[in-house]
Amino acid sequence: MEGEQTTDLIRLQLRRQRALTGMNQEEFGRRTRFSASTVSAVETGTREIDLPYASRADEILETGGLFQSLLKMAQRDELPSWFKPWLDAEAVARQLRYFHPTLIPGLLQTERYTRTVLRFDDTRPEAEIEQQVSSRLERQKILARERPPQVIAVMDERALRLRDAIMAEQLAHLLRLAELPHVHIHVIPADAGLHVGLSGPLALALLPDGSRVGYLENQLAGEVVNAEDALTTLQARWESVRGVALPQASSVALIKEVESLHGPQ
């Protein structure tokens, strides 16, 4: 509800700011490179506001990033309450560690891969999917900030070998990320056999004050872990999955091998 109220506020202020400049919808659309019908749809609520639209509106209306900031607030407000503490931890962490046995970890996903995963729930409205895609892409910006966190991601080889049209792009994206000095990608080979990571995904964040936060997810929801004994268990399980994964150089070589099976892009 809070997210919807913020979005309604954005629409109202967009309309007011446009009117204050003396621009009608057609002129505003021409200057922002959107059609007049798109401007009308955004202002009346029949089209979702996205970051590209908010960015162009800020530029033309000279609002100093106001609408982008308001939109990010709305997107955060619409996230499940159980996820927000992890989002806060992820945003300030000095180190992030991710493991997923069946998927590419979210921080390393391409836009198309993210959209495909979110569509697993075929009852989810398209507008909600696009909002969550936008939110995940926004989270990924921590990888490119001036002082990014160290990111260590472990995934299973089987997650790389999915025969899907989106995988060539996703694998190429992983290889580009692996070139960053603060991103470390490790793959558990298919012949590793049974290991503790098959019990489910996990994530760990090391915060600036030295404290730790964990995160677990299942089919219905996620759980932020703060209790010291539970964090100790997660740390041990992380060490186990990291221990059966290949070194980074071997992992990158494996990703390249799988990528070559998709042919030239």
Torsion of CA 175, 179, 183, 189, to 10 degrees: 40
Beta strand 212-217 with 222-225: parallel, antiparallel or unpaired?
antiparallel
- For the cut 50, the answer to whether the pLDDT of residue 1 exceeds it is no
Segment 8-60, tens digit of pLDDT: 888 888 998 999 899 999 999 999 999 989 999 888 888 888 888 888 999 99
Residues 130 and 236 both lie in one domain: yes
Q: Please tell me whether residues 138 and 14 are part of one structural domain.
A: no
- 90 lies in the same domain as 67: no
Q: Would 265 be classed as within a structural domain? A: no
What pLDDT digit, counting tens, does each position of 47-100 carry? 888 888 888 999 999 998 888 888 777 766 666 677 788 888 999 999 999 999
The pLDDT value recorded for residue 205 is: 97
In this prediction, residue 53 carries a pLDDT of: 87
Output the pLDDT for position 77. 64
Structural domain that includes position 138: 84-260
Asked if residue 197 lies in contact with residue 156, where contact means CB atoms within 8 angstroms, the answer is: yes
Rounded Cα–Cα distance for residues 159 and 239 (Å): 20
Torsion sign (Cα): 62, 63, 68, 74: negative
Residue 26 lies in a domain: yes
Check pLDDT > 60 for residue 2.
no
Last residue of one domain, picked from the residues 77, 106, 132: 77
Q: Are residues 56 and 144 in the same domain?
A: no
| Residue 96, domain member (yes or no) | yes
Query: Are 64 and 110 part of one and the same domain?
Result: no
Q: Which residue has the tokens 């407000």?
A: 77
Closest CA to 178 of 202, 193, 160: 160
Residue 255 maps to which CATH number?
3.30.870
Instruction: Please say which residue of 22, 56, 77 terminates a domain.
Output: 77
Q: In terms of domains, do 28 and 95 share one?
A: no
CATH number at residue 12: 1.10.260.40
Alpha-carbon distance values, 98 to 154, 155, 183, 247 (Å): 6, 8, 11, 16
Q: Indicate the angle between helix axes 126-139 and 66-77, nearest 10 degrees.
A: 110
Q: What angle do CA 208, 211, 180 make, to 5 degrees?
A: 50
User: Per residue in 144-196, pLDDT tens?
Assistant: 999 999 999 999 999 999 888 899 999 999 999 999 999 999 999 999 988 88
Complete edge-to-edge strand list for the sheet that includes strand 150-156: 183-188, 150-156, 95-100, 202-206, 212-217, 222-225
- Of 236, 162, 241, the C-alpha closest to 200 is 241
Retrieve residue 215's tokens: 């995160």
Q: Are residues 96 and 69 in the same domain?
A: no
* pTM, 2 dp: 0.75
Q: What is the pLDDT of residue 78?
A: 66
Measured distance CA(207)–CA(213) in Å, rounded: 8
pLDDT band at 131 (very low <50, low <70, confident <90, very high): confident
191 in a structural domain: yes
pLDDT, residue 87, reads 87
Of 101, 94, 109, 105, nearest in space to 244 by CA: 101
pLDDT at 265 over 60: no
Residues 64 and 106 in one domain: no
218's enclosing H/E stretch is: none
Helices (H), 144-201: 157-160, 167-178
In the chain, what is the straight-line distance between the N-terminal and C-terminal CA atoms, in Å? 43
Domain membership flag for residue 225 = yes
In total, how many domains does the chain have?
2
DSSP state of 133: H
Residues 128, 47, single domain; the answer is no
Which one of 59, 77, 95 terminates a domain?
A: 77
* Co-location of 28 and 120 in the same domain: no
Reading the block at residue 238, the tokens are 């992380």
Give the Cα separation of 265 and 261 in Å (integer). 11
Mean pLDDT of all residues in 220-233: 91
| 127/214 same-domain check | yes
Q: Containing H/E element for 185? A: strand 183-188
